[in-house]
Structure 1
Amino acid sequence: MEPIPLTATLSADDLRALRVAKTQLESPSLTMKLAGMVGSPVEKLISSLPAVANEKIADATQIALRKCLQIALRTLGKAEPSSGAFDKPSNLLHKLAVATTGAAGGAFGFLALPVELPVTTTLMFRSICDIARSEGEDLTAIDSQLQCLAVLAMGSLPKAGSAGEDAELGYFIVRGALAQQVSKASSEIAAKGFTAHSSTALVRLVNAIASRFSVQVSEQVAAKSIPAIGAVLGAMVNTVFIDHFQQMAHGHFTVRRLEHRYGQEAVKAAYQTIDVSLDA
């Protein structure tokens, strides 16, 4: 389908879809969600983590993202088994799977991080891909796969009312900051295929995503560090964790679907006019 001219106005249905997407993208932060669940400020819990926590979290995050990237590269150009481009995503099944890994991590504590996080992140990445497919993305395409990976960098977006005159466009700021790196990585993969996994552009993209994703991982680990709750809390935290990123994915790929039809500028302009605080 050819894009509608940029001067076009979104249909009523598409405006409603964009409103839902903005609500998802500007949902309460993961910090607030976890604090509400465990009944304690996440920042305080982070400060109580072992001294080596930051290094361990950074290493585990890099390993997890590289595993997701390998999955993406292996599946490029392969036909999807889905019966239809807009099939409803299996969000609940992915939540149940991630809850199981969270239970194991909660039972074994911080020591389980190097094993649990790559599994959890891979399951989350597959869920994000499933959501992307449900919004019409072609998962055999390089850009679509990298956009799925980029969602992991969107776990903490500036919200309306934050400092800065462009805070209400936080989603577009974060997305724009990654756009050039996604484009360069896409070009290298197109030229080199699977052997591009260690290319400079891909390494830079993974590092950029890791620097943002590791913040949410730190919050997740901290929330699961409360003593004497163990597996139950681990499962609950992981469920909140994946649900947060599923919302980001739904919002992001709805915006991209509308952009394919109306153009980026028209969708961004419509996004700015929506006041999601009226829905509260």
Structure 2
Amino acid sequence: MTGSDLLPARLSDELDVLAARLVAAEGTSIRLLNYIGGRAENMLEHLPDWAKDELERATERALGYAVEAAQVSRGRLRDQPAWVNTGFTTVLGAAGGSGGLPTALAELPVTTTVLFRAILGIAAAHGFDPGKPEVRREGLTVFSAAGPLEYDDGANTGFLATRVTLSGSTVRSVIARVAPRLSIVLGQKLAAQTVPVLGAAAGAATNYAYTRYYQQMAHVHFGLARLAREGGHDTAVLTEALRARLPRRV
């Protein structure tokens, strides 16, 4: 018998809900983005060399901007429902894709800010204070989840074992760790937006998928942290129990 078999019934039910969120996050997003990928094979090859070289640096800058802007905006604008965030980023994606690479690059920090702001709102819904540096750092780690275009066995739950408080870490160090992975996801998005014929449609579709995906992942991340905090459960045990609820892939 494993530690996860000994969990109380209420806790088991909540883990079932989080597992359903993980499955839902991958479902629509992967089907949609696989369709886009099928229409634009080797999408990253469509980016010019200078854009590929700049991508990770641009992602770091976008994350840094998002941390500051999202926190400031929380004092002026209340958190929005998931559908509002998704609708807003979908419109941003369409606008970014309508003008090719220049407008897509200009849209990147704005979309990243909206995504991060949505993640902070979800943290607050689970009882965490987004004004605390450790919560903002945890919000950034949500971006290190495997993106909808990529399936890496265990990657979607591996990051969940991170403690809510990252002792000794700074926001900048977390950004440096998250940026390489997020830049791959955003690179696919930028490339799709520059492909002839796809353009605005690809920008809207990718933003729609990413926003749904990261909001679901934020619920899983902070939901698991809340369960660990409320019941004093070991995060690794909860992560194991969550993983056991996911359907096996053939």
* TM surpasses 0.5: yes
Alignment of 1:186-225 (within 5 A): 201-225=170-194
3-state SS, counterpart of residue 49 of structure 2: coil
The one of 68, 71, 88 equivalent to 1:70 is 68
Residue 54 in 1 paired to residue 52 in 2? yes
My pick for the range that moved more, 218-227 or 254-263, is: 218-227
Give the root-mean-square deviation of aligned CA atoms: 3.5
User: Which residue does 2:230 correspond to in 1?
Assistant: 261
Would the aligned equivalents of 1:106 and 1:233 in 2 still touch at CA under 8 Å? yes
Aligned counterparts, 1:119-268, within 5 A: 119-156=110-147, 167-168=153-154, 170-175=155-160, 182-185=166-169, 201-262=170-231, 263=233, 264-268=235-239
Instruction: Compute the displacement of 1:217 (Å).
Output: 0.4
1:239 offset after TM fit, Å? 0.8
Give per-residue Cα distances to partners, 1:182-240, cap 9 Å, x unaligned: 3223xxxxxxxxxxxxxxx4332211010111111012112223312332332222111
Distance 1:218 1:92, change over 3 A: same
AA partner of residue 242 (structure 2): Y
| Larger mean Cα displacement after TM superposition, 214-223 or 44-53 | 44-53
Structure 1 stretches of at least 4 aligned residues deviating more than 6 Å after TM superposition: 78-82
- Residue in structure 1 matched with residue 14 of structure 2 by the alignment: 17
1:267 Cα offset (Å):
1.8
Aligned AA for 2:245?
D
Deviation at 1:90, TM superposition (A): 0.8
Amino acid in structure 1 at the alignment position of 2:159: V
- C-alpha contact 2:143 2:178 (8 A) present in aligned 1: yes
- Measure how far apart 1:114 and its partner are: 3.2
Number of the residue aligned with 2:98: 107
Offset from partner CA, 1:23-70 (integer Å, 9 cap, x none) = 434653898445433261766112222222212322321111011222
Q: What are structure 1's unaligned runs of at least 5 residues?
A: 1-5, 83-87, 186-200
Question: Partner of 2:38: helix, strand, or coil?
Answer: coil
Contact 1:151 1:245 in 2 (8 A): yes
Query: How many equivalent pairs are there?
Result: 244
Unaligned runs of 5+ in 2: none
State the Cα deviation string for residues 129-171 of structure 1 (Å, max 9, x = none): 1111112222222211211121111144996xx6xxxx54x34
Amino acid of the structure 1 residue aligned with 2:168:
K
Between Structure 1 and Structure 2, whose CA radius of gyration is higher?
Answer: 1
TM-score, structure 1 length as denominator? 0.73
Indicate how the Cα distance of structure 1 residues 61 and 221 shifts in structure 2: closer, same or farther if over 3 A, else same. Answer: same
